[in-house]
Structure 1
Amino acid sequence: MSESVRFLTITPDEMGQRLDNYLSRILKGAPKSLIYRIIRKGEVRVNKGRAKPERKLQAGDIVRVPPVRLNEQTPSPRPGDQLKALLQSSILFENSGLLIVNKPSGLAVHGGSGINLGLVEALRQIRDDDYLELVHRLDRDTSGCIILAKKRSMLRQLHSRLREQGGIEKNYLALVQGHWSKRKSTIDVPLKKNELKSGERIVRVDMEGKPSKTVFDVVSYYQDCTLVKAKPITGRTHQIRVHAQYAKHPLVGDEKYGTDEFNKLMKSCGFRRLFLHASSLQFSLENGESIDVSAPLPEELEKALRALPKR
């Protein structure tokens, strides 16, 4: 139990972290559920105001940390041997400052909201490294390339790259419903996050939303669907999924933005998950090093695709 409220000033070395990740380090042993609860109730403040868990902290920010009771007898969840082996074999690239992993579908990038253990928490334990931070995110059901920073300086550098248009080029493979026209190459419509009464987060095309742009290229046509390469120019939540839905070509296996009837049909053809895979990343570092990393399509998607008749 910490005895009193603390007011902590974010140093230049700490800037760029998400608020929830910062609190996880400050409140050693605190479960994610507790951290999310004290943020939600407004007990945690940033510069005297409420803040969301995903808020990126800046140098000079003052974080109010309330006294909390920690149960010393509740150990942090640990990755099992199977997950350890999977993640260790999924490392695509590593240097002194960053790590790129081929994230498996079904694994959240971080814990919270009922998820005890995510990719970043598991990797911290496997590698015995407290400092590993997500540079960007992937949806839980999306597989493929994701970057983690091993140093705060690298986190700041890559966040700066992300803010530049084309600073980090991301390419995805997606299987979409119907025949995507080769003339329909760019979807450029704003997106806005909404929260339903149930608490579910959903994104919609909304003229009052944030500018959002995705470039789509047809890879090949199949019976009733099209394999496309999607390149997000901006980085909004669920961007590829919502832009594909807006184009009337929702992703195969998308339970939030797709159609139940079509998803049921495709499940019978062997597609048992969202068909969205972060296939490659390209960017350059400040020292001139060029990074070009690819992740192969997961076997369960590749196998189902091979069995699908081409057009």
Structure 2
Amino acid sequence: MAEGRGVQWLDVDEQHDGQRLDNFLLAHLKGAPRTLIYRIIRRGEVRVNGGRVRAHRRLEKGDRLRVPPLRLPEKMAQEVSDNLRAVLADSLLVERPQWLLFNKPSGLAVHGGSGVTIGLIEALRQVRDDPFLELVHRIDRDTSGCLLVARSREALNTLSDELRRHGMQKRYLALVEGYWPAQLVCVETPLERFELASGERRVRVSAAGKPAETRFAVVERFDGATLVEAEPITGRTHQIRVHAADAGHAVLGDSKYGSSAGQRPAQRGGLERLFLHARALSFTDPASGERVEMQAPLAPSLTAVLARLRSTN
């Protein structure tokens, strides 16, 4: 069964001033799949003040949106399982009045869509009483580590602005194949998103792509692999993974951009997932104005991989 809706007119109030169009619609059109939201925006069926807009358009107080007739499922969202509730509780590292910091586990998507019925943010909105919860940034489903969630519109705007100005610092640990050269400290190749015939989204190095910069530093060496710290200066999709692969040292466990050369050290270490972990996040607390340095510990499965590789060095 489905619920039909005629044309809707939505007015942007002060609370939603500065919010992205896609996030605004996801919050207001309960039960609408993310893919549907992006499709109606892309086709120009959503209008802001009478004009076509893109999904990342930031709304302003007083804007008026036209939303086309939609057929939405009766069931608004998948129920949060007891297991997922436990994962969310165990993953919460820090809770502050304006934000939450999670050590997101590998395999949990940050939001629903593209075959994922429910992600971390949708589950959080079901299990917590917060009136406002929004992702400040995103990390890949298979990547673990620091994930910041805003608890107010003001906090989201402040943190998002800091992110756009590159004031928020992110540092990742990645186990890559081969011997990473100590002198290779920066990769600055442009990245372009594209789709395979199957519809799967990928990223490649291309002169037609957007500028991207990742800084690398060697942390530890193993037989056939290197543990590196990666700092993405820009925030492109799959940036660290594609830059590492382009440098000839793909991240171990990467089913999209890895190579057969990385299978031997991955098997020797017993690696069963992507070895990419957002271990540190630095930002300005929107309430106090103080600089905050947060860290997320490696999952036991990844520390075990490193221990096995050390024992065979």
TM-score surpassing 0.5?
A: yes
Does structure 1 residue 140 correspond to structure 2 residue 141? yes
Does structure 1 residue 49 correspond to structure 2 residue 52? yes
Which residue does the alignment assign to 1:69? 71
Deviation of residue 263 (structure 1)? 3.3
In structure 2, C-alpha distance between the alignment counterparts of 1:264 and 1:16, rounded to whole Å: 48
Does structure 1 residue 254 correspond to structure 2 residue 254? yes
Does structure 1 residue 291 correspond to structure 2 residue 292? yes
1:133 partner letter: E
The residue matched to 2:309 in structure 1 has which SS? coil
Does structure 1 residue 237 correspond to structure 2 residue 237? yes
- Structure 1 residues 284, 34: CA separation in 2 closer, same or farther (over 3 Å shift)? closer
2:217 partner letter: D
Higher deviation after alignment, 290-299 or 18-27? 18-27
1:251-297 deviation line (CA, Å, top 9, x unaligned): 00111111145337614531111000000111223532221110001
Does structure 1 residue 306 correspond to structure 2 residue 307? yes
Deviation of residue 87 (structure 1)? 1.0
In structure 2, C-alpha distance between the alignment counterparts of 1:45 and 1:198, rounded to whole Å: 30
Which residue does the alignment assign to 1:104? 105
1:179 partner letter: Y
The residue matched to 2:137 in structure 1 has which SS? coil
| Equivalences, count | 307
Which residue does the alignment assign to 2:226? 226
In structure 2, C-alpha distance between the alignment counterparts of 1:180 and 1:291, rounded to whole Å: 31
- Structure 1 residues 79, 263: CA separation in 2 closer, same or farther (over 3 Å shift)? farther
User: Do the aligned residues in 1 keep the contact of 2:250 with 2:262 (CA within 8 Å)?
Assistant: no
Which residue does the alignment assign to 2:13? 11
Identity of aligned residues (%): 50
User: Do the aligned residues in 2 keep the contact of 1:175 with 1:252 (CA within 8 Å)?
Assistant: yes
Which residue does the alignment assign to 1:94? 95
User: Do the aligned residues in 2 keep the contact of 1:45 with 1:51 (CA within 8 Å)?
Assistant: no
User: Do the aligned residues in 2 keep the contact of 1:17 with 1:133 (CA within 8 Å)?
Assistant: no
The residue matched to 1:89 in structure 2 has which SS? helix
- Structure 1 residues 191, 30: CA separation in 2 closer, same or farther (over 3 Å shift)? closer
Which residue does the alignment assign to 1:208? 208
Which residue does the alignment assign to 2:28? 26
1:63-97 deviation line (CA, Å, top 9, x unaligned): 3212223343x252122112111211211112111
Deviation of residue 129 (structure 1)? 3.0
1:213 partner letter: E
1:253 partner letter: G
User: Do the aligned residues in 1 keep the contact of 2:31 with 2:77 (CA within 8 Å)?
Assistant: yes
- Structure 1 residues 46, 199: CA separation in 2 closer, same or farther (over 3 Å shift)? farther
Contiguous gaps of at least 5 residues in structure 1: none
Contiguous gaps of at least 5 residues in structure 2: none
In structure 2, C-alpha distance between the alignment counterparts of 1:95 and 1:298, rounded to whole Å: 23
1:221-274 deviation line (CA, Å, top 9, x unaligned): 011000000011111111111111111100001111111453376145311110
Higher deviation after alignment, 235-244 or 277-286? 277-286
The residue matched to 1:307 in structure 2 has which SS? helix
Which residue does the alignment assign to 1:274? 274
User: Do the aligned residues in 1 keep the contact of 2:224 with 2:265 (CA within 8 Å)?
Assistant: no
The residue matched to 1:253 in structure 2 has which SS? coil
- TM-score, normalised with respect to structure 2: 0.90
Deviation of residue 50 (structure 1)? 5.4
1:13-36 deviation line (CA, Å, top 9, x unaligned): 314434343223212343445545
Which residue does the alignment assign to 1:159? 160
Higher deviation after alignment, 242-251 or 10-19? 10-19
In structure 1, C-alpha distance between the alignment counterparts of 2:261 and 2:104, rounded to whole Å: 28
In structure 1, C-alpha distance between the alignment counterparts of 2:17 and 2:245, rounded to whole Å: 36
User: Do the aligned residues in 2 keep the contact of 1:244 with 1:251 (CA within 8 Å)?
Assistant: yes
- Structure 1 residues 154, 292: CA separation in 2 closer, same or farther (over 3 Å shift)? same
User: Do the aligned residues in 2 keep the contact of 1:170 with 1:281 (CA within 8 Å)?
Assistant: yes
